[in-house]
Amino acid sequence: MYRARVVGCGAALPARRVTNAELAETIDTSEEWITQRSGIRERRIAGEGEKTSDLAIAAAQAALSRAGISGSDLDLIVLATTTPDQTFPATAVRVQAALGMTKGAAFDVQAVCSGFVYALSVADSMIRTGQMQTALVIGAETFTRLLDWTDRSTCVLFGDGAGAVVLQAVQVERGAGGRGILSTHLHSDGRYQDKLYTDGGPSSTGSVGQVRMDGREVFKHAVANLAAAAAEALAANGLSPAEIDWVVPHQANRRIIEEVGRQLDLPKEKIVLTLDRHGNTSAASIPLALAEAVSDGRIKQGDLVLLDAMGGGLTWGSALIRW
Ligand code: UT7
């Protein structure tokens, strides 16, 4: 039996840092409103000409370097994004070419803010079946390109960035504990597609459209779905919330994350938060937070790490990892 183990993490952020105070100079908002309602203090915004693939490649190179392998060792790239460089081909193949990988497969996955957990689940499944051995999973976004800068209820919340992990197949005894991805669970419910969406797309308007969100409704669903996904992951593995060492949640709103933590009875110290500095980077938020907590030594070998995501679709899901 094969299991996927994380052997390297990497992150990349655009250089341009934009504070709440700077936004308040041009938008009808205030530094206090954004901080108090969301927990966001600043975000990074991609520079002119800086593409999702640029951030993805930088994060991928950092993850490969940490794993001590090169692009030619990979047989799979799964890239989660809502903001591909082009409608086609997949941004993943641009990354593939840049990394010098000429075998295997590279493709994109679209599940908005749940995208990284979806991509991880796809790669994990392919490794478990023995189809792939070494995979790169990326969450990369230039989400600010989709924003309506006259809509203060959305434009203050998002940022750009990318994070990546390298997965390696390891052989384990059936039923054994051990390290690696223990489980992933994915969900979607298209009845709520109109709660968070873009008002355009290639086959409808011919343009990419801009983000529209019913914030209060998404907030309610986010709390319920994130708590349910966490409970489902723990139950599937016969574990209790107290056994979790770190939660790395999608970074949309600090109040959502804290409420889920309260429902799970998790101390705040166990929750990795990057929202204050990154804002909501959609599919990139979890791998960005993961890379930070691994590189600063918080997440250590043997720790139980829960990834918990929720986004447009609505989509949501979890991954439980013994690090
Ligand atoms: O990543 C995918 C998942 N996304 C999410 O999870 C986002 C979920 N939703 C949220 O995080 C929150 O709903 C928001 C942060 C978007 C909004 O917070 P809220 O506490 O739900 O505020 P609200 O939408 O109920 O708006 C409260 C007030 C309104 O004014 P009135 O009607 O009470 O007079 C808004 O017009 O705040 C006003 N408002 C703002 N004021 C200053 C909305 N946006 C802003 C703003 N600055 N940027």
The pLDDT assigned to 174 comes to 67
Q: For residues 160 and 36, state if they share a domain.
A: yes
Please choose, from the candidates 149, 169, 165, 167, the residue with its C-alpha nearest in 3D space to the C-alpha of residue 157.
149
Instruction: Answer with the one of 120, 137, 171 that is the final residue of a domain.
Output: 171
Q: Identify whether residues 184 and 147 lie together within a single domain.
A: no
> What are the angstrom distances between the C-alpha of 263 and each of 139, 181, 183, 231, 297?
27, 24, 21, 10, 27
> In whole angstroms, what is the distance from residue 95 CA to residue 130 CA?
23
pLDDT tens-digit series, residues 8-57: 999 999 999 999 999 999 999 999 999 999 999 999 999 999 999 999 99
Counting from 1 in the atom list of ligand 1, the atom nearest the Cα of 154 is 16
The pLDDT, as a whole number, for residue 289 is: 98
Q: How many angstroms is it from 106 CA to the middle of ligand 1?
A: 37
- H helices within the chain, ranges in order? 20-26, 31-38, 52-67, 91-98, 115-128, 152-155, 215-236, 254-263, 275-278, 285-295
Domain range for 36 is 2-171
Which amino acid residue places its CA nearest to atom 43 of ligand 1?
Answer: 153
Q: In terms of domains, do 9 and 130 share one?
A: yes
Q: How far apart are CA 3 and CA 129, in angstroms?
A: 9
* Spatial separation of the C-alpha atoms in residues 66 and 275, rounded to whole Å: 24
Co-location of 146 and 190 in the same domain: no
Please check the confidence at residue 176 and state whether its pLDDT lies above 70: no
- Kindly state whether residues 165 and 86 are assigned to the same domain: yes
Which residues are registered as beta bridge partners of 299? none
Residue 192 has pLDDT above 60, yes or no: yes
Distance in Å, CA 38 to ligand 1 centroid: 8
Pocket test for ligand 1, best of 30, 35, 37, 160 (most atoms within 8 A of CB): 37
pLDDT band at 64 (very low <50, low <70, confident <90, very high): very high
Q: Which of 171, 203, 236 lies at the terminal end of a domain, its last residue? A: 171
Q: Give the sign of the dihedral formed by CA 23, CA 29, CA 31, CA 34.
A: negative
List, for residues 212-260, the tens digit of each pLDDT value.
999 999 999 999 999 999 999 999 999 999 999 999 999 999 999 999 9
Mean pLDDT to the nearest integer, 60-83: 98
Q: What whole-number distance in Å separates Cα of residue 98 and Cα of residue 103?
A: 13
Residue whose CA is at the smallest distance from ligand 1 atom 17: 215
pLDDT of residue 175 exceeding 70: no
Whether 185 and 150 share a structural domain: no
Ligand 1 near 252 CB (within 6 A): yes
Residues 135 and 42 in one domain: yes
Ligand 1, atom 4: closest residue by C-alpha: 252
Which one, of 101, 136, 138, lies nearest residue 116 by Cα? 138
Asked if 190 and 80 sit in the same domain, the reply is no
> Is the confidence at residue 77, as pLDDT, over 90?
yes
The answer on 140 and 186 residing in a single domain is no
Closest Cα to atom 41 of ligand 1: 29
* Shortest-distance atom of ligand 1 to CA 312: 2
In the predicted model, what is the mean pLDDT of the chain? 97
Mutate to test the pocket of ligand 1, among 32, 141, 153, 196 (most ligand atoms within 8 A of CB): 153
> What tokens were used for 316?
């949501």
Last residue of a domain, one of 126, 151, 171: 171
For the ranges 174-183, 197-206, 310-319, the lowest mean pLDDT is seen at 174-183
Q: Verify whether ligand 1 is closer than 6 Å to residue 35 (CB atom).
A: no
| Three state DSSP letters for 26-74 | HCCCCHHHHHHHHCCCEEECCCCCCCHHHHHHHHHHHHHHHHCCCHHHC
Q: Give pLDDT, residue 173.
A: 76
- Asked whether residue 158 falls in the same domain as residue 22, the answer is yes
Q: Which is higher by pLDDT, 309 or 1?
A: 309
Query: 296 vs 51, 264, 289, 293, CA distance in Å?
Result: 27, 25, 11, 5
Compute the distance between CA of residue 199 and CA of residue 181 in angstroms, rounded to an integer: 36
Query: Both 108 and 212 in a single domain?
Result: no
Residues that are catalytic: 113, 250, 280
3-state helix, strand, coil in the chain (%, to 5): 40, 25, 35
- Closest residue (by CA) to atom 18 of ligand 1? 37
pLDDT tens track for 94-145:
999 999 999 999 999 999 999 999 999 999 999 999 999 999 999 999 999 9
CATH number at residue 40: 3.40.47.10
The closest-lying atom of ligand 1 relative to the alpha carbon of residue 255 is 11
Structural domains in the chain (count): 2
Burial of 114 (0-12, 13-18, 19+ CB in 10 A): buried
Give the pLDDT score at 172: 86
pTM exceeds 0.85 for this model: yes
